[in-house]
Structure 1
Amino acid sequence: MHSVFRVNDIKQTVSNSRLWEVQLSLTGDNDPQLATLTERMREETQGSTGWYRMGKLMLQVGHFNQAEDLYNELLKKASSDDDRAHIYHMLGFLKNDQGQYKEAVSFYEKSLEIYRKTLPEDHSSLANTYNNIGLAYDNMGNYSKALEFYEKAIKIKEKSLPPNHPDLATSYNNIGEVYRNMGNYSKALEFYEKDLEITKKSLPPNHPDLATSYNNIGLAYDNMGNYSKALEFYDKSLKIREKSLPPNHPSLATSYNNIGEAYRNMGNYSKALEFYDKSLKIREKSLPPNHPDLATSYNNIGMAYSGQGDYPKALSYLEKALAIREKSLPPTHPDIKDTIDNIDYVKKKM
């Protein structure tokens, strides 16, 4: 069996900007689950050239700035509409991960414009683009618009894909996420469980997408007030992410944040702060300074300090959260109102 490595870091070499240094650590060559995961990720990062594969790998491990540089360079050299559509789509994908949701929609729409000219209406590439536009609208808090695009995507996928295809699972997961954001937690759980059923059958047990499924079911239980059940699913998610992702990957930060949130909801503020701090350290290293997830960390840390009665410290973090959210989110986004309400609450307590 071939040796299996973990990707620790990817960076351009100083002497030649066309060369990239990938830092690896040996994880062992006798773990069949890890080997299966590696093979699956190899399939997922396939592209027409080595540069496209490199771009996908960078996105997989959370190196969004490097991926953006690479895709912009590829865009300059693209010789066909098909290549341009793919690159626009990938730029949209990374802009979404960077928290720049309007820019993400703009790139996706450029991709969609090309695909609509060249592909049949039920083509899977159209479904993927509809899905990702929906994801960006979901992140902007425009849930009705998100559902509109998710439903376009799933209509194509249900017609064109086998019933256990991972892309169908992605659609079910995303629809579940919209319902959760809208406060319909039982409906969210229904779609999350559809996602999990497919994901378990179609992906290796250490695949990051399976971690996402467990994480989101945990979120639904958390929102429903079933914190012990939430922690059970968060823990499943975290174990996979710790095995399959680099140590500073944003998804690991998400897991730590969500575990912290469950502990805060249970009134265990010191334990919550322990996990929030782990999350924040990763996010400060891996995300742009105005990313909404950073604001989430500051907000949650602030509310944990509020729970402990340390209102000046709480206010400091909440104001950091509000500053980012006002810069990075639409003015009607519910997270902005939530932060303002939290600040008002803390000020009244001081």
Structure 2
Amino acid sequence: MITLNTETITLHRLVQAVARTPDPHVDGDSHRQPADVHIACHAATALLDQARPADPADPAGWPTWRTLIPHVDALAQHAPPDTDTPTTARLLNHAANFLQDQGELARAIDYYERALNCDLRLNGPDHRNTFTSRNNLADAYRAAGDLRRAVPLYEATLADWERVLGGDHPDTLTSRNNLASAYQAAGDLGRAIPLHEATLTNRERVLGGDHPDTLISRNNLAHAYEVVGDLRRAVPLYEATLVDCERVLGGDHPDTLSSRNNLAHAYESAGDLRRAVPLYEATLVDCERVLGGDHPDTLSSRNNLAHAYESAGDLRRAVPLYEATLADCERVLGSDHPNTLTSRNNLAHAYQAAGDLDTAIPLFEATLADSERVLSGDHPNTLTSRNNLAGAYQSVGHLGRAIPLYEATLADRERVLGADHPNTLSSRNNLAHAYQAAGDLDRAVPLYESTLADCERMLGGDHPLTETVRANLEAVRR
């Protein structure tokens, strides 16, 4: 019933159930009085909190987390929420961080919500722990693609930080940065970019130009410029940020490696593959040396290099690298991790580019089914997967399947992301192109026209998507 070894104690489930259940009807049951069970519960909570790795994002601690999570689940299941302590809230927040990194978003959200309720009950609405728990919950909603809940929660959290700590407190500035990123994820770049700009200005003034948070703000602003196609501002800002990261943090710091990757991506977006590919290659070598071959950032770096090879038309290098990256993601992260699903989607796209649609389409279909199961039907990655499957159907002339899927994807993107999100505008262009392929110009031309007007209004006349829509409209008019 009890198994002991040098590192663990294993109790039979029946023993566990009896030990945690007080019986007031049994005289002389001196070891299972409610107060004793209560003390034991909090002792177990403290032991779990002491045993957890400090950084949930560090892969070195993942085996320990995987051992601890079933015990955290048992604690959450058997301990009533109204008995939670500050230690419980801290443990649940860290466990949720790990689960979120592993793609277990539904479980992470449950733990974040319980931690927030505990902080509200014990500390009140104006305590910093409460603000942190609220921000964590908003992060999880954003990761799950639930921006309708994430954005208001970020807004409320920022208002609370400003009211309690003031506008210049570092935690307030972090909250502003998070809200700007949420606006950007929701496609509201009209609010995201000014907020990123203001946050950077404030961080430079309060923290200094070389503070790591300031460098993060510069990178985020560059990324927002890149999203709207303003590469004339994005690329120089990425370049300057990388120089500062190398000088302040060192060439091997993870943030420096991320900055190199981001600059390579901007070069790729600008069509400058002669600079993008060597920078991706060098970044991957550094990630493998510094972080290890199995680190998530290393796997992302491999994926990015494969994509650059694909963009350059070098499918002989892209496809094997995608295949190896997917195998590593499945082994390290698991088959259902969001990064693994993205890797599968990318490999399917490379097969399609290579003309191997017999392999690409089943892989797109399986990836979409997994995305719907793991991430939900409304997650932005799921919507991307649907769009890609529709494109594959169109490539083989299956317009009877492609057009309804494009239409459904567009309706979902308008509902989830909003009508002006770049992905929604891309969906409109794709649907118009499918109508054109089907010979339905009465629907294709007006859709191209309205999409072009929206792209020019939201993204500007020089954005690559705007130029694509304009070229499609000119071609159909000819």
Unpaired runs of 5+ residues, structure 1, are 21-47
Matched, 1:79 2:219: no
CA distance in 2, matches of 1:346, 1:207: 41
- 1:94-113 mapped onto 2 (5 Å cutoff): 94-96=224-226, 101-113=231-243
8 Å Cα contact 1:306-1:314 kept in structure 2: yes
- 1:287-298 mapped onto 2 (5 Å cutoff): 292-298=422-428
**1:251: which partner in 2?**
381
Query: Which TM-score applies when normalising by structure 2?
Result: 0.56
**2:178: which partner in 1?**
55
Could you say what the CA RMSD is over the residues aligned between the two structures, in angstroms? Answer: 3.8
8 Å Cα contact 2:284-2:301 kept in structure 1: yes
Question: What is the deviation of 1:260?
Answer: 0.7
CA distance in 1, matches of 2:460, 2:305: 21
8 Å Cα contact 2:158-2:172 kept in structure 1: no
Structure 1 residues 277 and 331: CA distance shift in structure 2, 3 A: same
Greater Rg by CA: 2
- 1:190-229 mapped onto 2 (5 Å cutoff): 190-229=320-359
**2:411: which partner in 1?**
281
Q: How many residues align?
A: 320
Matched, 1:169 2:299: yes
**1:33: which partner in 2?**
none
**1:299: which partner in 2?**
429
Matched, 1:18 2:154: no
Question: What is the deviation of 1:288?
Answer: 7.6
Residue identity matched to 2:307: E
**1:238: which partner in 2?**
368
CA distance in 2, matches of 1:95, 1:336: 15
8 Å Cα contact 1:294-1:321 kept in structure 2: no
- 1:8-47 mapped onto 2 (5 Å cutoff): 8=146, 9-12=149-152, 18-19=159-160
CA distance in 2, matches of 1:271, 1:225: 19
Structure 1 residues 103 and 57: CA distance shift in structure 2, 3 A: closer
Matched, 1:261 2:376: no
Structure 1 residues 258 and 98: CA distance shift in structure 2, 3 A: same
CA distance in 1, matches of 2:186, 2:223: 12
Question: What is the deviation of 1:64?
Answer: 6.2
8 Å Cα contact 1:124-1:156 kept in structure 2: no
Question: What is the deviation of 1:128?
Answer: 0.9
CA distance in 2, matches of 1:74, 1:344: 41
Residue identity matched to 1:18: A
2:150 counterpart SS class: strand
After superposition, the C-alpha distances for 1:239-271 in whole angstroms (9 at most, x for unaligned) are: 343344465443222111101101111212132
Residue identity matched to 1:280: L
Residue identity matched to 2:207: S
- Equivalent of 1:147, from 277, 289, 292? 277
Which structure carries more relative contact order (alpha carbon 8 Å, separation 6+)?
A: 1
Question: What is the deviation of 1:214?
Answer: 0.7
8 Å Cα contact 2:186-2:421 kept in structure 1: no
8 Å Cα contact 1:105-1:136 kept in structure 2: yes
CA distance in 1, matches of 2:360, 2:396: 11
CA distance in 2, matches of 1:151, 1:56: 33
Q: State the identity as a percent.
A: 26
Structure 1 residues 332 and 266: CA distance shift in structure 2, 3 A: same
Residue identity matched to 2:384: T
Residue identity matched to 1:149: L
Structure 1 residues 150 and 290: CA distance shift in structure 2, 3 A: farther
